[in-house]
Amino acid sequence: MHALQDLYPDDFSHCYGCGRLNAHGLHVKSEWHDGESIARFTPRAEHIALPGFVYGGLLASLVDCHAMATAAAASMAAAGQTPGVDQTPRFVTASLNVDYLRPTPLGPELELRARAIDIGPKKVIVETTLSANGAVSVKGRVVAVRMPETMRATPSA
């Protein structure tokens, strides 16, 4: 069983949040367990908001990449494929909603758990919790869409 992100096609494995081919990235890794995906991440010292607490932008990034992998895995499972074994299709974020319930302490490993609550042919809605020391500090609700073909070409910047 592989992390879902490690089974993205090579061309789409450069994501700063979760791409195995991004040397400077966060390398979020999500694993699929019976309808739920789980990721663990320990922020670095510089990922600080205020002294002692994790930066909210990092937390949003973790929610984002974990939710995209969860959307893909849930779609795969619905289609009879095996998440963590078969290639993971790439989803992109349409909207990201993050509620910061309480400050997240900097230091302990964080745990993210996510489930798809609605699986359509193109769009999947994912709900995520993030906890530290067993206490949920962040909730996320993310709308994921299958990567459109127009994103396959590099735009002229």
Nearer to a second copy, 35 or 52 (CB): 52
Q: Which of the 8 DSSP states describes residue 133?
A: T
Nearer to a second copy, 11 or 34 (CB): 11
CB of 28 to a second copy, least distance (A): 9
CB of 72 to a second copy, least distance (A): 14
Tokens representing 33? 């367990």
* Contacting a second copy within 49-88 (CB under 8 A): 49-53, 55-58, 60-62, 64-65
Query: What whole-number distance in Å separates Cα of residue 63 and Cα of residue 141?
Result: 9
Per CB under 8 A, does 39 bind a second copy?
A: no
User: First-to-last CA distance in the chain?
Assistant: 38
Closest CA to 118 of 150, 65, 155, 70: 70
Query: What whole-number distance in Å separates Cα of residue 66 and Cα of residue 39?
Result: 7
CB of 74 to a second copy, least distance (A): 19
Distance (Å) of CA 74 to CA 14, 63, 91, 120: 22, 16, 11, 10
Per CB under 8 A, does 20 bind a second copy?
A: no
Residues lying near a second copy in the complex (CB under 8 A) are found at 11-12, 14-17, 19, 22-25, 44, 46-53, 55-58, 60-62, 64-65, 90, 92-100, 103, 105-108, 147, 150-151, 153-155, 157
